[in-house]
Each structure stands twice: as C-alpha cells, then as structure tokens.
C-alpha cells in the first residue's frame, strides 16, 4: 500500500495523475459528490437553524466503502477535488465520512494536469476553506427548499396530472420559452420597402461585372417606394465619393461547455445531450480536456503546443498570442477551456466523435491566430434627377488570419436581412458614370425574435448566470420530460410580398410569395408549461425573477468570503418565501387553464378550451347540463391560448367510422399515443403521414394485415389455455404470461422453440420465487 492517498473527482483524471506522482501515491476518484440531503423532511431541520441531514446515496456506498478502507491503510490523505464551491464541499464531505480532521488534512488544487503543476501543488497544500463549504451548503439547501416546497404547491393547485415540478433553474428556463412564444404570438409584422439598384462596371480585366447599391432609406409604404422609383426614371448615375476603410475580425475564445453546445448545434445540428455524450467519450479516451467548464483559460503548456501547431501548419505570421478573460470574473474556474490534449492530432479515427473533435481543434487553434484583415469600400452614387444618393459597399479580405481555419456560427437571433455578405466592388473612380441595369423595391417584413433552440436557451441561461456547465444538458432534458416544453418543427405559412422594378425607364409591379415562420428543432412551450409558469409568476414572483439567481449568488459569495453567516442568509430568504407558500396553499384557487372560445351554433352551448386530466381539450357544454358535455382532444401543435373556434370545431369530426373491413367497423381517432385505428377490439397506430381527418379505409387495411404478420413473426410458441407465449424480443427470446415477461435461463436460450409447457411453467415459478435484482434508482416500494 502506498504511503499517500490522493482523492480527485474524476476517474480519468485519477489515472493521469497517478502516473505523474509515482509509486508513493495512490490516486483514486470519488465520482463527484458522495453525500446529499436526505429526501425525508427535505433533509433539513429548519427549526434548528437549517441544519442539514446528509446521507450517502445507494449508488455511492461502494465508492465510499472502498475509500474508507484505503484511507485507513495509508499514512496521509490528500484532498484534490476541483477548486470551486462544489469541489470544496466534496472535500469536506470526504473528511466527514472518512473520519479525517479538517484542521489538518491536506487540501491541494491544480489547474492543469502536468508534472510541474501537480508537483507544485503537492508542495503547497492548504487546509479546507470552511467559508466556501458553507456557501455550497447554503446553495444546496436553498435549492432543496425551493424545489421541495414549490413542487407540492403545484400538486395541490394544478388540476392536471401529478409529478409536476418547479425549481430555481428549471422554472426560469420554462419562463423564458413561454415569454418568447407569447412575444411571437402577439407580434405584428410591419412591412417596408427596401430599394436595391444593380449597376454594371468594368473590372481590372475590362470585363463587365454587376454590383449592388442600397437605396437611401426604407420606405414605409408602397406609394413612397414607387414615388422614389418614379423620380429615378430617366436619371443618370455617377460615383460621387469613395471611402476605403481598413477593418479587422478577431477569433472567438476557446470553447466552454456552453459555447461548445452552441457551435455543435449550429454547425453539426447536435442536441446538447448528444454533444455532451460525445465530449465525454473524447475526454475518457484522453483526447480532450474536461468538458464541463466555464473557463476560457488555456494553460501555458497548451499555449506553447498551439503556437507550435500554428507555426508548423500555417507559418509564423498566422500566430498571435491571446489571453481571453471570463465574463463573470466571480471565478468558479476549476478547469481549463475545452481543448485537445495534444494539438498535433488534428483529427481522431473514431467516426462518432470525429466531427466534434475537429470542431474543438479548429476553435482552439483559431483562438491563438492572427486577426483577419479587411478592406471595406463605401461608394456613394449620385442620382441626377433627385437629391438622394445610393450606397454601394464592398469588402475585400486582405489577410485571412484565423479565418483560414474557423469562423464562429450565428444564431437566427443575430441574423438580419441586411446581414448578407458584402461582395467585392469593381474598381470605381469619382465622377465615373454608371449604367443602371435595374432598380428594385422589395417589400420586407419585420420579424419577431426566433424561438429558442436547446443551445440558444443554454446561452441565455448562462448570460443570466442560471445553471452550471454540468446541468445545462440535464435541465433541458428535465423541462421536456416534465411536459413543459417540446422540441419540434413548425411549418411556415405562405405570405405575399410586392416587388416593383424599374428597368429601361419602365416600372413593373409583381407579387411574389415567400414562406415565413418555419422552424426546425425549436423549443415550444406546452399549455401545461404556460399554465404552470403563469401560476408561479403570480405567487412566487421573486423566485421566478430573471435576476433571482444572480442576487443569491452574490450572497453566496459573501458567505464564501466570510462576510455573511450562511444560516442568516437562508433565514432571510426562507421567512418571506415560506410565507408565500403558506399563503398560496390557503388562498390560491385550483387552476384549470380555461379559455372561452364562443358558443356552439347548433346547440347554443358554450365552448371552452382547457386542460383536462389527460391534456388540453375542447369542451362543448357544461358538466352540470342535463346532457353530457362533448369532448375532443386538441392536436399536439395547437395551444389553448391560440386555438380558434373554427379549429376547435374541426376536432369534433373524430372519431370517424370508415366502414367495414372483414365485417367489422374501422374507427379512426386520436388517443393517448397519437392517431390510431380500432378494428375488432385491436388498435393500430396510424403512420406518420396519415391524417386521421382524411385517411381512407383502403389505407388502413394494409396496416391491419401488416401488424398481424409482424405478430406471427415474433411468436415462437403459444400455450393457448395457460396464456403463456414464447416470443422473440430485441434481446432474444423470452416468455410472456399475461402482462408480465420472464427471462429464459441462458442454457435454454438457443433452444427456446423446444421449451415445453412444463418447462415454461417452471421458469415462471422460478423467476417469481427469485425476482431479478432491480437496479438502484427505480426503487419502487409497490406491494405486489
């Protein structure tokens, strides 16, 4: 046994460090936090000054046991968890659990995993910083209180289903999406006319080329735009003035978790969870540095490495040393920026991770490369018939610099229709006469802010200081899993726009159509998300405030710096918060999310859109009416807030009876799992392209035949009377009786077709007597 035990958080890190430290040191990982608050009674003794009650989660018992054993056997334990609030707390929990004295136990930190950095760290151990630990405890306890007091309020006050949740991070994430959706719904597009003139002039080779010049202003009406074109009839054009300005572009900082997620989304179309999964693979195989970081810092060794790679690949003049600063210098910088471990590897062999790795490599290289140098030319063009002038601008790249390797992508949010690339202009001289090919006034509409993508939501959350690199991806998953938010596409709608063209002194007018409002893989709030957000906003405005996290982070910092006592800080938060909880439980009405749509023309009964137990629906008539109300489930793309009376009435065309197939009626409807056809007491899901409102009988019949065939295909054997089936599943053959499945013992898997009734019964009895061990998380205490 080695004399020293070093504990770090990540096992991949442990391996590398052990090699560096040599045989006197054994390096182990604790896999993140090893203790958490108990679930019962929130795990907090609020009366007793918020005293936390910690427990070791089941899936950490093994690690803790192992570390305890090793700690006993070694002379000295070194705590080398990350240098941030959470890392400090992990070290403290290790002290508590391993029986180490925090007054003497050595605490070390390193910012890069290199021999000199680690050896230096070992020479400069410090002690635990209890202020920092207390700041973490305050953070943990506050989050538990918010989550475990707000969620039950929702269970009581929402008339929809259960397992709703609320929390400091997730509820604000949903709020962002809800508010963006409403902005879009209430947005009024305003049109204006943009004038573009196309001229020809000779280039250096004497060839005629066409370039574009912008009109003096955007015209608010078609009349104004036409008047302008009218004034240009018979005009002569000449260059009035030329300005040449140098410009430059600089590369973006190397990747953090959030910028990596954004770029992988923009350039590779990856979801944030896919990006993180692939990054994890690259990290574990030693290809990149740690992937959960908010630091843009690069270590000195990395900087040398990058410089080498740039000089070798592109030459000295492409290198420029840069130091990037983090925006919020509150410094939870436990790690470096995300970069390749070895810059000499410009790619990896693995096909899954190849694209992501190359993106990281390019971004890292570019971040230490020279600026791109531009030359921007602006030419003003005189119109002989009026006082206005046109502007032509062109941009020429003089030196490509970092653009040789990498250009950061843009979100829709940052794009505008003026954003088209400036091309190059032909050489022009002042007073030079120009030939007008044509001039166009095109109608353009203002656009609302675009819906969030997963990645642009992460960007926004990061700007607000909400969430951490390790939680961005899980948060996005949670709000979708809870049914507050959906990721989907939206079809655009056709819109007419007008174009007026001046050509050969004649004006012509045409109307064209464009597609507008189409979205791909965007986040939409559900009705549930909107209703829950409105409720939380109404009763818990302070927690839902976009500045809430920033405010309490400031207080956590004060605790960390010893300027505030953590219990007092929590008490200041809790007293008014808990009052709001009690007040809401007592006074708030149960929320139904009802919206009146009008009255039914036939019966005169009221029509409402509202949340039912199973989701949004339309109801005609009231529950207390003599005749039962009629119900129709809304489509997943519709929303209570925006559905029209016409759209609502359309829904009552289901269920449709399509007629008889094999003497039985075929009914089409939409159920819990989407559109289906029912026939002879069996159900058949409609194919994606089938519309339940228009689908015909002859499209359904093959569906029925197909499903029967698939079932025969899966069946190996049936014992009719006992209701025992031997079936083929994705993991091989298994036995099914009633609704339960039973695993076939290994030795019989290959001869599953030969299993007799007696053998099958024996297997079932055996499995029932020795139920397979359940894995730790789904520990349901359901009585069988």
Give the residue numbers annotated as catalytic, written as ranges.
290
From the CB of 477, what's the least distance to DNA, in Å? 10
155 binds DNA (CB under 7 A): yes
| Among 300, 209, 288, CA closest to 255 | 288
Least Å distance, CB 350 to DNA, is: 16
18-47 positions binding DNA, by CB under 7 A: 29, 31-33, 36-37, 39
| Chosen residue from 730, 758, 770, 784 binding DNA by CB under 7 A | 730
Binding string, residues 318-337; x marks residues near DNA by CB under 7 A: --------------x-----
DSSP letter for each residue of 680-739: TTEEEEPPTT--TTT--HHHHHHHHHHHHHHHHHHEEEEETTTTEEEEEETTEEEEEETT
Taking residue 604's Cβ as centre, other Cβ atoms within 10 Å add up to 8
Facing residues of 665 across strands?
660
- Which residue in 198, 631, 652, 719 binds DNA (CB under 7 A)? 631
Does residue 467 bind DNA (CB under 7 A)?
A: yes
Residue 86 in the binding site for DNA (CB under 7 A): yes
Q: Other C-beta atoms within 10 Å of 1: how many?
A: 10
Site for DNA in 259-298 (CB under 7 A): 280, 283-284, 290, 292
Contacts of 694 (CB under 8 A, 6+ apart): none
Which residues, 515 to 534, sit near DNA by CB under 7 A?
Answer: none
The reply on whether position 453 binds DNA by CB under 7 A is no
Closest separation in Å from C-beta 651 to DNA: 10
In 3-state terms the chain splits into helix, strand, coil percentages (rounded to 5) of 35, 25, 35
Residue 250 vs 471, nearer CB to DNA: 471
Part in contact with DNA (CB under 7 A); list of ranges 71-79, 442-450, 713-721, 774-782: 774-782
| 721 scored as a contact of DNA (CB under 7 A) | no
Smallest separation (angstroms) from DNA to the CB of 635 = 12
C-alpha span between 683 and 749 (Å, rounded): 31
> What 3-state class would DSSP assign to 297?
coil
- Choice between 110 and 684, CB closer to DNA: 684
- Contact between 748 and DNA by CB under 7 A: the answer reads no
* Residue 169 makes contact with DNA by CB under 7 A: yes
Q: Which long-range contacts (CB under 8 A, 24 or more apart) does 537-540 make?
A: 537/175, 539/153, 539/580, 539/583, 539/584, 539/588, 540/150, 540/577, 540/580, 540/584
The DSSP line for 325-385 is --SSTT----S--B-BS-TT----S-TTTHHHHHHHHHHHHHTTBPPEEEEEEEEEEEETT
**Closer Cβ to DNA, 190 or 783, answer by number:** 783
Closer CB to DNA, 23 or 672, in the complex: 672
From 669, 690, 719, 748, residue interacting with DNA (rule: CB under 7 A):
669
The number of residues that bind DNA (CB under 7 A) is: 89
Which segment (318-326, 352-360, 469-477, 692-700) binds DNA by CB under 7 A? Answer: 469-477
Q: Which residues pair with 523 in a beta bridge?
A: 487
Strand partners, 396: 375
729 lies in the site for DNA, by CB under 7 A: yes
Q: Closest approach of Cβ 357 to DNA, in Å?
A: 17
Spatial distance between the Cα atoms of 472 and 467, rounded to a whole number of angstroms: 6
Give me 741's structure tokens.
């499945």
Q: Please give the residues from 45 up to 74 whose contact with DNA meets the rule CB under 7 A.
A: 59
Report the alpha-carbon distance of residue 757 to residue 719 in Å, rounded: 7
> Contact with DNA (CB under 7 A): which of 50, 148, 193, 402?
148
Stretch that binds DNA, among 17-25, 522-530, 625-633, 713-721 (CB under 7 A): 625-633
Task: Confirm or reject binding of residue 746 to DNA (CB under 7 A).
Answer: no
Burial of 620 (0-12, 13-18, 19+ CB in 10 A): buried
Of 641, 591, 600, nearest to 619 by C-alpha is 600
**In the bound complex, what is the minimum distance in angstroms from residue 486's beta carbon to DNA?**
17
Q: How wide is the angle at C-alpha 141 spanned by C-alphas 135 and 142, nearest 5°?
A: 90
Any contact of residue 221 with DNA (CB under 7 A)? no
Q: Does 164 bind DNA (CB under 7 A)?
A: yes
Least distance in angstroms from the C-beta of 5 to DNA? 18
**Taking a C-beta distance cutoff of 8 angstroms, is the pair 367, 251 a contact?**
yes
The rounded distance, in Å, linking the Cα atoms of 549 and 778 is: 31
Range 577-616, binding DNA (CB under 7 A): 612-615
Least separation in angstroms between residue 32's CB and DNA is 2
Q: Is residue 140 involved in binding DNA (CB under 7 A)?
A: yes
Q: Please report how close the Cβ of residue 219 comes to DNA at its closest, in angstroms.
A: 48
Based on CB atoms, which residue is closest to DNA, 415 or 718? Answer: 718
Q: Which stretch binds DNA (CB under 7 A): 124-132, 159-167, 565-573, 695-703?
A: 159-167
Nearer to DNA, 15 or 182 (CB): 15
Residue from 315, 329, 575, 731 in contact with DNA (CB under 7 A): 731
One residue of 219, 228, 406, 742 binding DNA per CB under 7 A: 742
Whole-angstrom distance, CA of residue 74 vs CA of residue 180: 57
Beta strands at 606-612 and 615-620: parallel, antiparallel or unpaired: antiparallel
Please say whether the beta carbons of 95 and 105 come within 8 A: yes
Choose between 231 and 470: whose C-beta lies nearer to DNA: 470
- Rounded CA separation 635/576 (Å): 41
Measured distance CA(725)–CA(728) in Å, rounded: 10
SS3 assignment, position 430: coil
* Binding-site member from 193, 255, 524, 676 for DNA (CB under 7 A): 676
Q: Looking at beta carbons only, is 231 or 685 nearer to DNA?
A: 685
Among 48, 162, 186, 770, binds DNA (CB under 7 A): 162
Residue 545 CB burial class (10 angstroms; 0-12, 13-18, ≥19): middle
Q: Does 659 bind DNA (CB under 7 A)?
A: no
Closest CA to 441 of 515, 508, 516, 513: 508
Nearer to DNA, 428 or 611 (CB): 611
Stretch that binds DNA, among 125-133, 323-331, 484-492, 671-679 (CB under 7 A): 671-679
Is residue 393 part of the contact set for DNA (CB under 7 A)?
A: no
Overall size of the chain counted in residues:
784
Q: Does 9 bind DNA (CB under 7 A)?
A: yes
CA 314 to chain centre: 36
Q: Which is nearer to DNA, 133 or 169 (CB)?
A: 169
Q: Which is nearer to DNA, 340 or 469 (CB)?
A: 469
Q: What is the DSSP letter of 615?
A: E
Q: Which of 18, 76, 112, 143 binds DNA (CB under 7 A)?
A: 143
Nearer to DNA, 70 or 209 (CB): 70
Examine residue 741 and tell whether it contacts DNA (CB under 7 A).
yes
Answer yes or no whether residue 254 interacts with DNA by CB under 7 A. no
Tokens of 338: 């995300």
Torsion over CA: 288, 293, 294, 299 (sign) = negative
């Amino acid at each position: 046994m080695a004399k020293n035990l070093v504990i770090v958080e990540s096992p991949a890190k442990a391996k590398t460090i052990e090699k560096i430290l040599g045989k006197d040191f054994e390096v182990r990982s604790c896999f993140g936090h090893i203790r958490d608050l108990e679930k019962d009674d929130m795990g907090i003794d609020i009366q007793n000054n918020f005293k936390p009650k910690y427990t070791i989660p089941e899936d950490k018992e093994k690690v803790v046991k192992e570390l305890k054993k090793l700690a006993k056997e070694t002379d000295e334990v070194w705590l080398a968890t990350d240098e941030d609030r959470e890392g400090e707390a992990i070290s403290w929990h290790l002290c508590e659990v391993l029986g180490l004295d925090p007054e003497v136990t050595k605490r070390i930190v390193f910012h890069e995993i290199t021999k000199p950095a680690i050896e230096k760290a070992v020479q400069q151990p410090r002690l635990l910083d209890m202020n920092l630990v207390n700041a973490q405890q305050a953070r943990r306890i506050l989050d538990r209180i918010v989550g475990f007091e707000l969620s039950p309020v929702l269970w009581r006050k929402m008339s929809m289903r259960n397992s709703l949740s609320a929390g400091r991070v997730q509820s604000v994430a949903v709020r962002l999406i809800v508010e963006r959706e409403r902005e879009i719904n209430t947005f009024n597009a305003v049109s204006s006319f943009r004038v573009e003139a196309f001229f020809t002039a000779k280039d250096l080779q004497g060839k005629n080329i066409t370039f574009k010049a912008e009109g003096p202003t955007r015209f608010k009406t078609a009349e104004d735009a036409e008047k302008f074109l009218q004034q240009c009839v018979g005009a002569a054009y000449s260059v009035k003035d030329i300005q040449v300005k140098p410009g430059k572009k600089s590369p973006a900082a190397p990747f953090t978790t959030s910028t990596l997620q954004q770029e992988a989304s923009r350039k590779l179309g990856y979801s944030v969870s896919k990006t993180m999964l692939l990054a994890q693979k690259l990290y574990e195989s030693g290809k990149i540095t740690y992937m959960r970081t908010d630091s843009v810092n690069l270590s000195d060794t990395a900087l040398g490495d990058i410089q080498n790679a740039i000089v070798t690949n592109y030459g000295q003049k492409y290198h420029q040393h840069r130091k990037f600063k983090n925006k919020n210098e509150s410094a939870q910088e436990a790690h470096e920026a995300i970069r390749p471990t070895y810059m000499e590897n410009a790619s990896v062999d693995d096909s899954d991770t190849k694209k992501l790795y190359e993106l990281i490599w390019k971004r890292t290289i570019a971040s230490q490369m020279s600026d791109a140098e531009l030359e921007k030319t602006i030419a003003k063009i005189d119109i002989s018939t009026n006082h206005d002038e046109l502007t032509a601008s062109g941009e020429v790249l003089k030196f490509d610099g970092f653009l040789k390797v990498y250009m950061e992508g843009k979100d829709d949010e940052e794009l505008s229709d003026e954003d088209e690339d400036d091309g190059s202009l032909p050489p022009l001289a002042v007073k030079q006469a120009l030939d007008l090919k044509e001039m166009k006034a095109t109608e353009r509409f203002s656009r609302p802010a675009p819906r969030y993508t997963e990645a642009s939501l992460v960007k926004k959350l990061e700007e607000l200081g909400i969430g951490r690199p390790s939680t961005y991806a899980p948060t996005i998953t949670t709000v979708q899993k809870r049914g507050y938010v959906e990721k989907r596409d939206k079809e655009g709608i056709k819109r007419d726009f007008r174009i007026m063209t001046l050509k050969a002194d004649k004006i012509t007018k045409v109307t064209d159509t464009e597609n507008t409002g189409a979205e791909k893989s965007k986040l939409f709030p559900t009705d549930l998300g909107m209703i829950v957000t409105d409720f939380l906003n109404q009763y818990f405005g302070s927690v839902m405030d976009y500045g809430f996290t920033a405010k309490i982070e400031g207080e956590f910092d004060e605790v960390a710096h010893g300027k505030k006592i953590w219990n007092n800080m929590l008490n200041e938060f809790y007293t008014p918060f808990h009052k709001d909880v009690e007040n809401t439980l007592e006074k708030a009405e149960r929320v139904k999310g009802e919206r009146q749509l009008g009255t039914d023309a036939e019966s005169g009964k009221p029509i409402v859109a509202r949340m039912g137990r199973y989701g949004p629906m339309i109801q005609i008539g009231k529950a207390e009416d003599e005749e039962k109300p009629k119900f129709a489930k809304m489509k997943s793309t519709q929303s209570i807030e925006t559905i029209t009376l016409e759209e609502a009435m359309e829904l009552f065309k289901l269920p449709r009876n399509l007629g008889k197939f094999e003497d039985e009626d075929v009914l089409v409807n939409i159920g819990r799992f989407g559109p289906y056809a029912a026939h002879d007491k069996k159900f058949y899901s409609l194919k994606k392209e089938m519309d339940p409102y228009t689908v015909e009988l002859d499209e359904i019949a093959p569906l029925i035949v197909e499903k029967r065939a698939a079932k025969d295909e899966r069946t190996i054997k049936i014992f009719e009377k006992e209701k025992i089936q031997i079936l083929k599943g994705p993991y091989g053959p298994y036995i099914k009786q009633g609704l339960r499945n039973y695993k076939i013992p290994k030795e019989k898997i290959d001869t599953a077709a030969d299993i007799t009734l007696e053998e099958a019964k024996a297997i079932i009895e055996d499995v029932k007597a020795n139920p397979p061990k359940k894995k730790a998380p789904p520990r349901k205490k359901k009585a069988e």
